[in-house]
Structure 1
Amino acid sequence: MNSALSPEHSQLASDARRFAVTHFVNTEYYDLHEKFPEDIWRSAGEEGLLGSFIQKKYGGRELGYLAHTLIMEEFWRVDPGIGNILLSVFGAELLQQFGSEEQKAFWLPLLAKGKAISCCAITEPDAGSDIFNVSTLATKLENGWSLTGSKQFITNANRADLILIFAVTDQSPGAKTKAFSFFLSDRGGSGLSAQKMSGKMGIRASDTAEIRFTDRFLPGENLLGDLPGNGFAQAMSLFNINRLFACGQGVGIAQGSLDLLLQYLRENPSHASSQIIQYRVAEMATSIEASRQLYLWAGYNLDRNNADPGLIAMAKLFAGETGVRVVREAVKLAGPKAAAGGHPLSRFYRDAKIVEIYEGAKDLEKLTIARQVLTAR
């Protein structure tokens, strides 16, 4: 499948690898202090690494979602926390697909160039993988909407310039999938507050926050799309895309862990001669390559408007499990120092688990896969 990558994709992956190796320095500092790497984010925007899927007319490279996933893999291979600077464009996928020309022309160039940050506010205290439990309410007014509710575990909510908010717009019992809509909001005005979460287990260089809306007024034109009630369909499209991005995270952290283990074995050749260690290395390398090939195929189809939710769920499930398993094995094989605070593998161990949780917990991926398999003809 690697041979099916375009020369632009291959070059982009090489550029991303070179950028990460060069710029992702002082990684322990960003993790220890839970500090967003703003300078690195801005540099990535200047290098054109943030907007690979954004259309050229809006300042991006227009190389598709697979391109963004390839960059994600290379960034997470070097450092997952800093690598999440790519989530500074989270929500641009929705905006590009469903936004008005005015909305896209204003926001997408800023996001692509690292001059603005977006976030997508879906998850709530009582609504994680099951978005039907979302309770943030958008009430229709004569000249707009009033939003009240709260969101949690929202990446970059404390620093986002643009917030895409998933809310209930129809409370009638029969509304079902037509009950929800997305809205665009900037940070200005009253009725919005955000609080950064501290003390996370992993990806600590990536900000996560709680956000609250209290009678937050939004003009009618801030609705995403022409009519209310399309939020569920829009969210399903977003999940397909961002689950692919998560595959790059899982494969990236696995490959980075194997890289660190191989470095250790080169420095300790007597350990590398052990057949048991060679068995484990072979298993790790095989899982990584299988995960990579699975997401490449899923991304290839997604970029050709042939999204396969079951295939994407398989890729995300396998990549997440591979990331956790390979990091765990690498820590075991690299000796006690690898488990010590400050060692990259120790940090990777804490970072890996999130891939099995966000963008749909792993059991939700299994349900998606099972439904597709059981209904196949």
Structure 2
Amino acid sequence: MIILLLTFAVIATVLLVADVRRQLITRPIFSVFKKILPPLSTTEREAMEAGDIWWDGELFRGKPDWQKLHAYQDATLSADEQQFMDTQLETLMAMLDDYKICHETKNLPEPVWDYLKSNGFFAMIIPKQYGGLEFSSAANSHVVTRIATRSLSAAVTVMVPNSLGPGELLMHYGTQEQKDFWLPNLSNGKDIPCFALTGPEAGSDAGAIPDKGIVCKGEYEGKEVLGISLTWNKRYITLAPVATVLGLAFKLQDPDGLLGDKEDIGITCALIPTSHPGVNIGDRHNPMGLAFMNGTTSGENVFIPLEWIIGGADYAGKGWRMLVECLSAGRGISLPALATAIGHVSVRMTSAYSYVRKQFGLSIGRFEGVQESLARIGGLAYTLEAARKFTISSLDMGYSPSVVTAISKYHMTEMGRQVINDAMDIHSGKAIQMGPNNYLANLYAGVPIAITVEGANILTRNLMIFGQGATRCHPYVFKEMEAAANPDQAAGLLDFDSLLVKHVKFAVGNFAGCLGYGLTGGRFIDSPVAGETANYYKQLTRLSRALALCTDISLLVLGGALKRKEMISARLGDVLSQLYLASAVLKRYETDGRQLTDLPYVHYSVQLALHKAGVAFEGYFQNFRPRWLTNILHRVIFPLGNPYKMPNDRLARSLCKNMLKPGESRDRVSYLCYLGTSEDDATGVVEAAFHAMVECREIEVKLTSAQKSGVIPRRIPLDEAIMIALDKGVLSEHEAKQITHADELRKKAIAVDSFKFEELGHGAQHNEEKASAA
């Protein structure tokens, strides 16, 4: 007993007496921590510090505050914004013919360009005082999503000036003179902007751009002024071929010390009229056959005055910080909007097509093989819209959450890829024949573009989400890094000691919590709601605590090497991402008023997210080393095995049943999909055929019963069956007309585009071959 008491006293003294603890524990750990501290370059540190922590921080805490989630403001439109959607936006939608845009004119028609310019589509983010619309992020996202359901080329054309580019950079960092000069012309469409960042040798590693500017004196407007001699070569620049003003990122050097004593000033952003001597634009790329303007720009020894730096000379060298701060917001709007558009179109059109397309006398939507893909479309589309609205709500609340927007960019574009693949599979031959009636092909072609731009998805998943989230969103790690980097060693040690005590308590609590949650299946975790979704909150809390524990272990074991262990960090990032997406789904369900008919979508979406999180954890346990430590973690987190399974077949069938009937639930999941008002429109005729056939269900039952009883022969064309049924009194004249009209619409809906030989440009070649043969 005396030995135990003495041991306890020694441990208590070491831990509780601050001076003793600092000497025996904190100081050695502090020294080790400084050595294993992940080395950060200047660009990495600026990227790390840019943006805000939002719901991602709650998920890293191990105990998310679900009341806070429910209290977040929903993304809504103002009265003025809604008026714009009902008038200007709908007018634009009626002007767009995506087949002609992509395959005939290879450009937006001039009336469309003029309409976009004169109605503020390029100035949604610009304040009203400069002539812009000053729309919320919710409105910006709504416009881009809606347009993308009609024409991806038009959507990209609209989204770029309202994303990372001259307008946003000017608003945040421009001098008053620059704002007064440029923003009114950007608002009224007199100027078209582009921003050039990516080059042949610098894609995802934008910090490695070779484009350079040299501070020097030169002649401008007949006078010798201090300026920059610029040389650049950029590619993949959207709107560059038609831009009148070029935003340019480059590395600035001052070898003669004209600005100060620093030679390598750093990445800088400038604004240059494309009419300026030496600026080259005009060459176009051909991005997957889509028709939005994308091309190259270059210049060699182009002299510009110093005041063309965005923000003026004071902002020389601050370009990277400017870019990452703006990109973290833009990344959460534009590309997620394109992915969500895929969800809206695929749900609306594929559900309708699955009903009207028949094989073996049955709608293909009744076959379980089709239902598996159709259910996945519905579940992922619900998640996409939930994540879109959840993410932009953070932006409209004034946050700029860099980790959250990275999650949105990567996972939403990947979900969009899965959704369009499933939609293409179900549409089969109709989806692969290009023509005016094909509403999927251009969306399919656009997916790799969204996957690639604003940070390639491989980079985003493997380096950004967890690489930034583990340090930025963790309650203590980033603060500990700052304490370790403090040049005042004594102050740094004091701060580190205080944080270390809290961090140890946090880690011990997570270890015990994970084991308790695992042994009980999370049954006793508090949930903010009752009912069918209550258990989901419990399971997300359980996984949140597991993520916090694995994060601490990974940082402890790997230290600075963690950022090079991309597969390990990517899997933990996948866990964080699935927790975020599931949170968005639950938030949407609450915001929409807990609609009973939406429950199949909610169940499918959350169960899929939990399953993917479980798979990510299993991958982590399989590959993390040392093995003995991994075995302990596995048994603590999943002591009774991994409980998270894919949504079952019964749920998939229930979801499909919901999708294959008209109603408010189907409308909520696809409300942004453009539907042509004419039965000659590609989307309009499919929707019209769907509704017409649903209304004819009882008539079809009569025909089927008559065939089974022998009154009408089996396996004859429908028009013959209708005539016999009419003649024998099985159907009334009204019923015969109704089902005949529905079948005509059905045939138009499943029709595939075809062309005369010469219409596709082969006529001249064909005639030459015939003449040669003769």
TM-score, length basis structure 1: 0.91
Correspondence 1:36-51 to 2 at 5 A: 36-51=108-123
How far the C-alpha of 1:116 sits from its partner, in A, is 2.1
1: CA distance, partners of 2:404 / 2:265: 26
Which of the residues 305, 321, 344 maps onto 2:398? 305
2: CA distance, partners of 1:161 / 1:360: 25
How far the C-alpha of 1:20 sits from its partner, in A, is 4.5
For the 8 Å contact 1:37–1:205, the answer to whether it is kept is no
The answer as to 2:274 corresponding to 1:187 is yes
The answer as to 2:453 corresponding to 1:358 is yes
User: Helix, strand or coil for the counterpart of 1:344?
Assistant: coil
Which of the residues 192, 204, 208 maps onto 1:117? 192
How far the C-alpha of 1:154 sits from its partner, in A, is 0.4
1: CA distance, partners of 2:232 / 2:458: 27
2: CA distance, partners of 1:327 / 1:2: 31
Gap change, CA 1:300 and 1:2, over 3 Å in 2: closer
How far the C-alpha of 1:363 sits from its partner, in A, is 2.0
For the 8 Å contact 2:340–2:388, the answer to whether it is kept is no
Q: Quick one: which amino acid aligns to residue 53 of structure 1?
A: I
Decide which moves more: 6-15 or 227-236: 6-15
How far the C-alpha of 1:139 sits from its partner, in A, is 0.9
Which of the residues 305, 308, 314 maps onto 1:222? 308
Correspondence 1:210-249 to 2 at 5 A: 210-226=296-312, 227=314, 228-244=316-332, 245-249=334-338
For the 8 Å contact 1:242–1:359, the answer to whether it is kept is no
For the 8 Å contact 2:148–2:155, the answer to whether it is kept is yes
Q: Quick one: which amino acid aligns to residue 319 of structure 1?
A: M
Correspondence 1:124-135 to 2 at 5 A: 124-135=199-210
Correspondence 1:291-330 to 2 at 5 A: 291-330=384-423
Q: Quick one: which amino acid aligns to residue 101 of structure 2?
A: Y
For the 8 Å contact 1:178–1:232, the answer to whether it is kept is no
Gap change, CA 1:188 and 1:28, over 3 Å in 2: same
Decide which moves more: 82-91 or 125-134: 82-91
Matched with 2:155 is 83
Correspondence 1:25-36 to 2 at 5 A: 25=97, 27-32=98-103, 33-36=105-108
How far the C-alpha of 1:31 sits from its partner, in A, is 0.8
Decide which moves more: 129-138 or 66-75: 66-75
The higher-RCO structure (CA 8 Å, 6+ apart) is: 1
Matched with 1:95 is 170
Q: CA RMSD in A?
A: 2.5
Matched with 1:154 is 237
Residue identity (%): 23
Higher strand share: 1
2: CA distance, partners of 1:216 / 1:259: 51
User: Helix, strand or coil for the counterpart of 1:229?
Assistant: coil
For the 8 Å contact 2:128–2:134, the answer to whether it is kept is yes
Q: Quick one: which amino acid aligns to residue 254 of structure 1?
A: G
Q: Quick one: which amino acid aligns to residue 122 of structure 1?
A: L
Gap change, CA 1:165 and 1:333, over 3 Å in 2: same
2: CA distance, partners of 1:106 / 1:116: 11
Which of the residues 341, 353, 357 maps onto 1:264? 353
Gap change, CA 1:339 and 1:13, over 3 Å in 2: same
How far the C-alpha of 1:197 sits from its partner, in A, is 2.7
1: CA distance, partners of 2:82 / 2:149: 16
How far the C-alpha of 1:266 sits from its partner, in A, is 4.5
Matched with 1:370 is 466
Matched with 2:94 is 22
For the 8 Å contact 1:291–1:318, the answer to whether it is kept is no
Matched with 1:281 is 374
Gap change, CA 1:250 and 1:171, over 3 Å in 2: farther
1: CA distance, partners of 2:391 / 2:132: 22
Q: Quick one: which amino acid aligns to residue 243 of structure 2?
A: A
Work out which of the two has the higher radius of gyration on C-alpha atoms and give 1 or 2. 2
Q: Quick one: which amino acid aligns to residue 182 of structure 2?
A: W
Which of the residues 105, 114, 134 maps onto 2:180? 105
For the 8 Å contact 1:146–1:215, the answer to whether it is kept is yes
1:335-359 Cα deviation digits (max 9, x unpaired): 2121112223122211121111101
Unpaired runs of at least 5, structure 1: none
How far the C-alpha of 1:15 sits from its partner, in A, is 4.9
User: Helix, strand or coil for the counterpart of 1:158?
Assistant: helix
1: CA distance, partners of 2:264 / 2:402: 18
Decide which moves more: 49-58 or 273-282: 273-282
User: Helix, strand or coil for the counterpart of 1:31?
Assistant: helix
Decide which moves more: 13-22 or 231-240: 13-22
User: Helix, strand or coil for the counterpart of 2:291?
Assistant: coil
For the 8 Å contact 2:267–2:317, the answer to whether it is kept is yes
2: CA distance, partners of 1:219 / 1:247: 38
How far the C-alpha of 1:65 sits from its partner, in A, is 3.1
2: CA distance, partners of 1:177 / 1:309: 27
2: CA distance, partners of 1:311 / 1:10: 27
How far the C-alpha of 1:262 sits from its partner, in A, is 3.3
1:197-232 Cα deviation digits (max 9, x unpaired): 344314x21111111111111111101113201100
Which of the residues 240, 247, 260 maps onto 1:164? 247
Q: Quick one: which amino acid aligns to residue 209 of structure 1?
A: G
Unpaired runs of at least 5, structure 2: 1-71, 218-225, 256-261, 476-774
Which of the residues 416, 421, 425 maps onto 1:332? 425
Decide which moves more: 139-148 or 4-13: 4-13
For the 8 Å contact 2:92–2:115, the answer to whether it is kept is no
Q: Quick one: which amino acid aligns to residue 443 of structure 2?
A: F
For the 8 Å contact 1:94–1:234, the answer to whether it is kept is yes
1:159-210 Cα deviation digits (max 9, x unpaired): 10111000101389xx8996110000001232111242344314x2111111
For the 8 Å contact 1:37–1:82, the answer to whether it is kept is no
Which of the residues 32, 40, 59 maps onto 2:131? 59
The answer as to 2:436 corresponding to 1:347 is no
Matched with 1:254 is 343
Q: Quick one: which amino acid aligns to residue 327 of structure 1?
A: I
For the 8 Å contact 2:248–2:272, the answer to whether it is kept is yes
1: CA distance, partners of 2:241 / 2:272: 13
How far the C-alpha of 1:113 sits from its partner, in A, is 2.8
For the 8 Å contact 1:77–1:254, the answer to whether it is kept is no
Higher helix share: 2
For the 8 Å contact 2:391–2:404, the answer to whether it is kept is yes
2: CA distance, partners of 1:310 / 1:239: 11
2: CA distance, partners of 1:165 / 1:40: 27
1: CA distance, partners of 2:179 / 2:455: 27
For the 8 Å contact 1:42–1:115, the answer to whether it is kept is no
For the 8 Å contact 1:120–1:164, the answer to whether it is kept is yes
Q: Quick one: which amino acid aligns to residue 450 of structure 2?
A: V
2: CA distance, partners of 1:2 / 1:260: 31
TM-score, length basis structure 2: 0.46
